[in-house]
Structure 1
Amino acid sequence: MQHPLLLPTTLAALAGFGTAHAAGAPILQEITVSSGRQDLTGVADSATEGTVTARQLANRPLLRPAEALETVPGMIVTQHSGDGKANQYFLRGFNLDHGSDFATHVMGMPVNMVSHAHGQGYMDLNFLIPELIGGIQYRKGVYAAEDGDFATTGGARIDYLRKLDHSFVELGMGQRNFRRLLAAGGHSLGDINLLGAFETSGYDGPWEQPQNLQKYNGVLRLTSGTAANGFSLTGMAYKADWTATEHVPERAISRGEIGRYGALSAKDGGRTHRHSLSGDWTRTTDAGASKLNLYVVDYGLNYFANPSGYIGGVQGDQHEQADERTLWGGQVRHSWFLGPQWKDTELSVGAQLRQDRISSVGLYATENRQRTNTIREDRIRETALAFLLEARTQWTGWLRSTLGLRRDQIDARVTPLAGQFNMRNGGDTSAGQTSPKLGLVFGPFDLLGPTEFYANWGRGFHSNDARGATARSNPQDGSSADAVPLIVKAKGSEVGIRTTPLKGWHSSLSVWQMALASELVFVGDEGITEPKGASRRHGIEWSNYITPADGWIIDADLAWSQARFIEANPDNGGRRVPNAIPLTASLGLIADSGGPWFGGLRLRYLGAYALEETGERKSAPFWMANLKAGYRITPQLQLTLDVLNLFDKKANDIEYWGGACTRNEAVNATGGCGSGTAIDGRLVHPLEPRTFRVGLRANF
């Protein structure tokens, strides 16, 4: 008996609608595509999951590595600081901050950091090398048993290529001192493949204070067989240093205190590193499939920021957030293919384990990156264990179901190490949740074309910072503080349709809703957990993937959402969730028929979003476009040109509403600045201007 690998696919991916069917039932067209090394064919469990292939990424213009996640329909990736810091993410009416409600794994390793110095779920993807990505599998919602902590809006699993067609060296240069060198090569001996890559890059950016980004990145990967039958062992090493221009009060620019790309603080920025070793083993037979994944990660961050400016005086309010940890864990999963007598059910059981051993996580007052006071410093050991059970059943030729159950248990111990008002905090905390999941697929039916209908429901969660769950006092001033739950419950559902109305055109439409028990967020800038209340969200997503001719790909996505708190803010009566983007759209074109010319064009729209609960103050909506054009001089040599922000839009990458003070306001004691009182206003980080970058690649 042959059984399809359950690799989810949607129209946003180069895969289609293979599914079991009964005699005489309409057959949803099976689409087989290549990721460059192997075919990907699969079955979808919802209307909003898919697989992005290397081919889709190859000609996509990227300003930052994490923008590879914008292949997930509706995902927005921005930045409000320097390029060495984790990006800001937005999806489904969530301001994901640096990753608090979207779970990402790279080669089986979790990227989101628990109880992190800068914020819960901190997801730094700057170590990615986009040219090595073999595929991105994404799922939205809380409907898969495999997805646990942080997978509230969904999650993505990124895997690198198992081997290269050609070794290559690529040299990139561009405006504002951009430079990049990437060398990648491989060697095969029988069924054993060795892949190695080294990247070094730097960039000053448009900022009046040069960013001076210096990044080093290395990968060594040993593989055998395929993702379904084989193994891989991957070592990675990454480090970066940078100087940041943080978001600033807009009034500092409009009044001429600083320029549009100016900074209020001269020594913001930081350094970070990530070293990892991961391995996986898989085996698939007619009777079932087994998978084992193990990993260990050494991670560190020292981040210096002055986001509020000069509230406390003309010396500034810079602080350092420091994080040093080792995390390790893995996953084991086995599936049984039970055959026709059991309705072709695939029954899976699995377990996941993760432990973060955080030797030191701290918040310090600093001046020019020199520590002047320890606000809090803690040692944390946090362990997460999960068991999962899932059954996929083909009941009839037009009905299949996925029933899942997941049990999570999180235990943490927080030991305060330093801080005048922090020593009363700490202790042990634990929490657990059982999360049922249900998915139904109706079809395929022959309507406008092969069509399937989907209905999904599930429960999920994101964890809170363990320091917030063991809090007794505010580490800033010693005032009493209430502990918060370690787990925040979420419940979601959606209905959707996926269809092929014309040959080469795949379209999906989904309507979804999500309830979150609390918007509690650990505020790394203050060392406390800030309650935001329960919220409700709903929305509509429409995604299209079109291949009008050989070598041409068009994708178009539209996403609308509404995010509201259950209870109004007592200070202003508003219920809007700040920084929840209600409308996003994207349009992309890729052209590469194998001839000398190739390229890609991306357009992205961000609608206006509320900056505070009343919605009276909103961001400015804007379109932007990125272009990549390439020419193959010979089969071994190619030249590319990237034009980022093609039309030189004058907009803001991110806008906030909050309290801050400029240096002039502190000196002149405006509004209490310099003596502890901030001025509320619009805080902005401008979009980078039009930027040209050229690349030269030589294949061997």
Structure 2
Amino acid sequence: MKNSASFKLLSFVTPFMLVNAAFADDPAIQRILVEGSRTSQMGIADTASQGVVSARELEQRTVYRPGEILEAAPGLIVSQHSGEGKANQFFLRGLNLDHGTDLASYVNDMPVNQRSHAHGQGWTDLNFLIPELVGRLEYSKGPYSARSGDFSSAGTASISYINRLPDNRLVLSGGQNGYRRVLLAASSVLGDGNVLYALESMRNDGPFTRGDNYRKYNVVLRYSEGYAANGWNMTAMVYGANWKATDQIPKRAVDQGMLGRFDAINASDGGAANRQSLSGSWRQTSSGSVSKFNAYLIRGKLDLFSDFTYFMRDPLNGDQFAQPDQRVTSGFAASHTWHSHNSIGLESDWTLGVTGQNDNISNGLYQSKARQQTAIIRRDRIVETSAAAYVENATRWTDTFRTVAGLRADRYRFDVRSDSAANSGRVMTGIASPSCNLIFGPWAQTELYVNAGHGFHSNDARGTVAKIDPVNGDSLKPVPGLVRSKGVEIGLRTEMFSQMQTTVSLYRLDFDSELVYAGDAGTTEPGRPSRRYGIEFSNYLKLNKWLSIDLDAAYARARARDHDPLAGDYVEGAVEGVGQLALSVDQLGPWSGALRLRYFGPRPLSTDNRIRSHSGVTLNGRLAYQLHPAARIELEGFNLTNRAVSAIDYYYASQLPGEPRPVYDVHFHPQESRSFRISLIASW
């Protein structure tokens, strides 16, 4: 039999080598990647819902905010319900992921999700991203890999920065609604390696009556030697931002003419955030093994002021609350993969890995008025520590059948020191997560996949020890520290037809406890067990050298598993369908551009499905012209048809001034109105 397992190992490593070599010193490989089609995953991917998006494909996308880069993963929706500096809202596989729960995100091997966050578990703030530096986006869905841990049940997205730019560049951008951006990014040879640096400054008001006044800056400094397969890098990043926020508003106020779609109720909502990080990664590859190690140190700070219920709890001062969060996160990950021969002549790749993470957190919940603290609801110091070990085996049994099986074990320690002794304590817990993948093929450039696995998400550490509700003094029952998920999937991937790549997947995903959004607290809390069935379709067609078409569609059915005929079994906020259709033109003479139609399907907003959100369709586009080999001009347009749709909807009780009692209503944040941005990109 052929040396198939070695081929599996090398086919996994080769794309990493090519991508980074393209940004090093080989102009021939640069030209291949620029003109090539979507990266093929045939014989590499273990599921139909796994993929890689190249820097060139990402460059063709029109993104209103950096986090929307993740929408390159089929079926993923990225939205916003507040000011621009706040973490995005995410939707995937029938889940309202809130600010990132159950979607594990990484940048340069650093976890972005923040555990036991003041506002939402798994808080994922991607505003520090600089799109021009992104070299690739890798995504996978479902709990089918032992390499994936906390927050990865719905999916995992990993972003890698490049080591060296093909060209230095200066970007000057301006647009409607006070949008301004300046970016300087450059790289050069230094010693035996490359140094990359970038400086970014941006402001944006948005279409709101009282502008967001969003201001941010980014600094990146990166040094690397070698390539991704054999080399190392160190990266320092600094990000800071402040903003005002137009939070979601009640539909009744707009219907009655009290507010316009882009008005706010509390003019002092908003926040400030900063982030500093230092990370490093090392990788060594030989003909029979791959070793990798990375470590990181992250300091983050957020001051967030929100008001979602207005005058329901405090008719005099209003319901604004403050959620400060400060943390230092440190961690590492190490893995070693080697090729082996077993006693019956089969060859396999074995991977052993270990990870560790520690979060030292100080956060709280305060009542406030115009950003001034009026009362302390709770104040906590949290130390959350985790460690994990995993083993994974990849074996090709025949030319048309291979397996990938793994087992992961995680151990967590939650240590909470609250201002209330009743809500202080220490808990230790663990979980084991097996996974198994069967891959059949290829036959006629087609593979079939059968996947199954267990995953989990961690709950807020404060909930694991809480005994008294700090708001009303009621008794509480502590929640489990780790919540299990179980997933199964059947998929197909085919490249049977020239220049076309198609994937289809059918899946089921169960959670032992659903995290649900609480409008009056502005956070998430554990809920009922749930089950989702879904189907996803993704198709990429490159018609010729300069024209390509993307078509993605997904449908999901989400229900609670503990049937309750009185309350209903629908899962609030569970998106039922999403899709996108894109036409991309690349290198048609001096012209390039894209049009992207996005469909964001309806969601049940109440468990009895009586209250539902509407679907939303938006059209974005970009047009670029190469003025000179060293200069390009780009025009981006957002919501080109100016559709008055919601970016997000919630259903809960609030009380406006003059209302005698709370009213249950739909609260929405509008999709930004039509706007344009123009950029001049100079390179040298």
Alignment TM-score > 0.5, same fold: yes
Does structure 1 retain, via aligned residues, the 8 Å contact 2:308–2:519? Answer: no
In the aligned structure 2, how far is the partner of 1:102 from the partner of 1:352? Answer: 18
Q: Deviations over 1:470-498 (max 9, x none)?
A: 00100112111110000000000100111
1:347 aligns with one of 347, 350, 353: 350
SS of 1:501 mapped into structure 2: coil
In the alignment, which residue of structure 2 is the partner of 1:112?
Answer: 113
In the aligned structure 2, how far is the partner of 1:40 from the partner of 1:283? Answer: 23
In the alignment, which residue of structure 2 is the partner of 1:264?
Answer: 265
Residue 487 (1) aligns with residue 449 (2):
no
In the alignment, which residue of structure 1 is the partner of 2:327?
Answer: 325
Q: Deviations over 1:574-628 (max 9, x none)?
A: 1110111111111112211263111111111122211111112111112111000
In the aligned structure 1, how far is the partner of 2:114 from the partner of 2:631? Answer: 40
Q: Gapped runs of 5+ residues in structure 2? A: 1-5, 20-30
Residue 662 (1) aligns with residue 656 (2):
yes
> Aligned pair in 2 of structure 1 residues 182, 217: CA closer, same or farther (>3 Å)?
same
SS of 1:262 mapped into structure 2: coil
Does structure 2 retain, via aligned residues, the 8 Å contact 1:308–1:660? Answer: yes
2:457 aligns with one of 462, 477, 480: 462
> Aligned pair in 2 of structure 1 residues 33, 656: CA closer, same or farther (>3 Å)?
farther
Q: Deviations over 1:472-528 (max 9, x none)?
A: 100112111110000000000100111123200111111000110001458596398
In the alignment, which residue of structure 1 is the partner of 2:471?
Answer: 476
> Aligned pair in 2 of structure 1 residues 331, 488: CA closer, same or farther (>3 Å)?
same
In the alignment, which residue of structure 2 is the partner of 1:563?
Answer: 558
SS of 2:58 mapped into structure 1: helix
What code does the residue aligned with 1:382 have? Answer: E
Does structure 1 retain, via aligned residues, the 8 Å contact 2:120–2:524? Answer: no
In the aligned structure 2, how far is the partner of 1:318 from the partner of 1:251? Answer: 20
Displacement of 1:569: 4.8
Displacement of 1:688: 0.7
2:665 aligns with one of 652, 656, 681: 681
> Aligned pair in 2 of structure 1 residues 191, 53: CA closer, same or farther (>3 Å)?
farther
What code does the residue aligned with 1:688 have? Answer: E
In the alignment, which residue of structure 2 is the partner of 1:177?
Answer: 178
Structure 1 range deviating more: 330-339 or 467-476 = 330-339
SS of 1:6 mapped into structure 2: helix
Displacement of 1:568: 4.0
Does structure 2 retain, via aligned residues, the 8 Å contact 1:475–1:528? Answer: no
Structure 1 range deviating more: 560-569 or 194-203 = 560-569
Matches within 5 A, 1:468-617: 468-520=463-515, 526=521, 530-569=525-564, 572-593=566-587, 595-617=589-611
1:443 aligns with one of 438, 441, 444: 441
What code does the residue aligned with 1:487 have? Answer: L
Q: Which runs of 4+ in 1 moved over 3 A?
A: 35-42, 339-342, 520-531
Displacement of 1:33: 6.5
Displacement of 1:371: 0.5
Residue 428 (1) aligns with residue 426 (2):
yes
Does structure 1 retain, via aligned residues, the 8 Å contact 2:636–2:678? Answer: yes
> Aligned pair in 2 of structure 1 residues 411, 58: CA closer, same or farther (>3 Å)?
same
In the aligned structure 2, how far is the partner of 1:233 from the partner of 1:36? Answer: 30
Aligned length: 660
Q: Deviations over 1:18-76 (max 9, x none)?
A: xxxxxxxxxxxxxx972799997751111110001101111211111000000010000
In the alignment, which residue of structure 2 is the partner of 1:696?
Answer: 680
> Aligned pair in 2 of structure 1 residues 187, 524: CA closer, same or farther (>3 Å)?
farther
SS of 1:273 mapped into structure 2: strand
In the aligned structure 2, how far is the partner of 1:342 from the partner of 1:149? Answer: 36
Q: TM-score, normalised by structure 1?
A: 0.91
SS of 1:253 mapped into structure 2: helix
SS of 2:669 mapped into structure 1: strand
Displacement of 1:339: 5.3
In the alignment, which residue of structure 2 is the partner of 1:361?
Answer: 363
Q: Deviations over 1:301-358 (max 9, x none)?
A: 0000001111121421000001001000010000101259753311000100000011
Does structure 2 retain, via aligned residues, the 8 Å contact 1:276–1:298? Answer: yes
> Aligned pair in 2 of structure 1 residues 236, 580: CA closer, same or farther (>3 Å)?
same
What code does the residue aligned with 1:349 have? Answer: L
Displacement of 1:250: 0.6
Q: Deviations over 1:207-230 (max 9, x none)?
A: 111110000111111111111111
> Aligned pair in 2 of structure 1 residues 323, 257: CA closer, same or farther (>3 Å)?
same
In the alignment, which residue of structure 2 is the partner of 1:98?
Answer: 99
In the aligned structure 2, how far is the partner of 1:503 from the partner of 1:568? Answer: 48
In the alignment, which residue of structure 2 is the partner of 1:34?
Answer: 33
Residue 135 (1) aligns with residue 129 (2):
no
SS of 2:163 mapped into structure 1: coil
> Aligned pair in 2 of structure 1 residues 543, 330: CA closer, same or farther (>3 Å)?
same
In the aligned structure 2, how far is the partner of 1:116 from the partner of 1:628? Answer: 36
> Aligned pair in 2 of structure 1 residues 527, 689: CA closer, same or farther (>3 Å)?
closer
In the aligned structure 1, how far is the partner of 2:61 from the partner of 2:161? Answer: 17
Q: Deviations over 1:386-436 (max 9, x none)?
A: 0010010011001000010100001010001x3xxx331110012111111
Displacement of 1:531: 3.5
In the aligned structure 1, how far is the partner of 2:390 from the partner of 2:470? Answer: 38
SS of 1:424 mapped into structure 2: helix
Residue 294 (1) aligns with residue 295 (2):
yes
> Aligned pair in 2 of structure 1 residues 500, 528: CA closer, same or farther (>3 Å)?
closer
RMSD: 2.0
Q: Deviations over 1:163-182 (max 9, x none)?
A: 00111100110001100001
> Aligned pair in 2 of structure 1 residues 658, 595: CA closer, same or farther (>3 Å)?
same
SS of 1:462 mapped into structure 2: strand
In the alignment, which residue of structure 2 is the partner of 1:213?
Answer: 214
Amino-acid identity (%): 41
Displacement of 1:296: 0.3
In the aligned structure 1, how far is the partner of 2:523 from the partner of 2:213? Answer: 31
> Aligned pair in 2 of structure 1 residues 88, 569: CA closer, same or farther (>3 Å)?
farther
Does structure 1 retain, via aligned residues, the 8 Å contact 2:309–2:520? Answer: no
Does structure 2 retain, via aligned residues, the 8 Å contact 1:35–1:135? Answer: no
In the aligned structure 1, how far is the partner of 2:38 from the partner of 2:558? Answer: 39
Residue 623 (1) aligns with residue 612 (2):
no
> Aligned pair in 2 of structure 1 residues 7, 72: CA closer, same or farther (>3 Å)?
farther
Displacement of 1:664: 3.5
Displacement of 1:253: 1.1
SS of 1:467 mapped into structure 2: helix
Does structure 2 retain, via aligned residues, the 8 Å contact 1:319–1:525? Answer: no
Displacement of 1:545: 1.0
Q: TM-score, normalised by structure 2?
A: 0.94
Does structure 2 retain, via aligned residues, the 8 Å contact 1:241–1:271? Answer: yes
Q: Deviations over 1:238-281 (max 9, x none)?
A: 01100000001111111121211100001000001110000000
> Aligned pair in 2 of structure 1 residues 35, 302: CA closer, same or farther (>3 Å)?
farther
Q: Deviations over 1:653-696 (max 9, x none)?
A: 1111111112242xxx2xx2xxxxx2101101111110011000
In the aligned structure 1, how far is the partner of 2:591 from the partner of 2:13? Answer: 32
> Aligned pair in 2 of structure 1 residues 440, 8: CA closer, same or farther (>3 Å)?
farther
Does structure 1 retain, via aligned residues, the 8 Å contact 2:249–2:669? Answer: yes
In the alignment, which residue of structure 2 is the partner of 1:234?
Answer: 235
SS of 1:131 mapped into structure 2: helix
